Structure 1
Amino acid sequence: MSRQNTQSMKPATAAKKLDVYLPATPPAFQESSVTRAELAALQADPPQWLTDLRKHGPHPKNLVASKLGVSISGLARGGVEDALTTEQIDAIIAENPEWLATERASYQVVLREERRVKSLHQDRARRD
């Protein structure tokens, strides 16, 4: 008789996969490991706390950076060190501080260069 091995992950890993800020999750989530089946269930039918976190935040830095159109490093250079709520992100966008405009422009240059290099590598791979 074989026993099914249920893989589990730390709460931080599960929070990252769910795109939520771990300290904002309920204590029960923070204090226990999450199996792959539980993670799949959370993704398929999110409880109210997960829906609220995704909608209102606070959001982890990667999502804050994405919503602002900058890199995570750009957030740090702009003085944003903590997770932000959707309302705080919207306020920054409405204010459009100089650092945000600068970081957005810089980030677009980096993205264009990454696309150019990727295209170059694809072209070389096709020729080889």
Structure 2
Amino acid sequence: MTSLKSKTTQTMKPATAAKKLGIYLNAAPAEFQEGVVSREELNTLQADPPAWLQELRRNGPHPRPVVAAKLGVSVSGLARGGVTEALTTEQIEALKTENPAWLERERTIQADVRKEAVRIKEKNEQQAAATPPAKTR
């Protein structure tokens, strides 16, 4: 006897979908915020974004991880700089132009963190290359 398994559609909360799309949920249309998003719908939004999604990606407001990436700092660095809300592209550009002391400091910290990550990766690769392979029986 064979049982027929119905294929269930994988869905996610709007917050999860917004995170995957790199948008600020509160700026999305109400129908997006209030419903659930299927994996198929998410793939469609990524492949062929509607006008509202293109506009959000272009002008924001952007969620903090996107703001941090655009400014070249960490999300923690944003918080230390007093930026706790979503920013528009215009606000991000104004911050870049203004280049306050906290932003310059956080960019330096981020650059140091990246250099250290590269150093550790190279060190681990060298150690792996120098270690003889384990003998198998």
Deviation (angstroms), 1:16? 0.5
Q: Runs ≥4 in structure 1, deviation > 4 angstroms? A: none
Structure 1 residue 72 corresponds to structure 2 residue 75 = yes
Task: Find the structure with the greater CA-based Rg.
Answer: 2
Letter in 1 for 2:94: A
* TM-score, length-scaled by structure 2: 0.90
Identity, in percent, stands at 56
- Aligned CA distance change for structure 1 residues 5 and 125 (closer, same or farther; 3 Å): farther
Structure 1 residue 87 corresponds to structure 2 residue 90 = yes
2:14 aligned to which of 2, 11, 16: 11
- In the alignment, which residue of structure 2 is the partner of 1:48? 51
Question: Any stretches of 5+ residues in structure 2 without a counterpart?
Answer: 132-137
Structure 1 residue 39 corresponds to structure 2 residue 39 = no
Letter in 2 for 1:104: R
Letter in 2 for 1:60: P
- In the alignment, which residue of structure 1 is the partner of 2:24? 21
For the residues of structure 2 that align with 1:98 and 1:41, how far apart are their CA atoms?
Answer: 42
Letter in 2 for 1:32: G
Deviation (angstroms), 1:51? 0.3
* Length, aligned pairs only: 128
Letter in 2 for 1:122: E
Letter in 1 for 2:18: A
Q: What is the SS of the residue equivalent to 2:35?
A: coil
For the residues of structure 2 that align with 1:3 and 1:126, how far apart are their CA atoms?
Answer: 49
Segment of structure 1 superposing worse, 116-125 or 80-89: 116-125
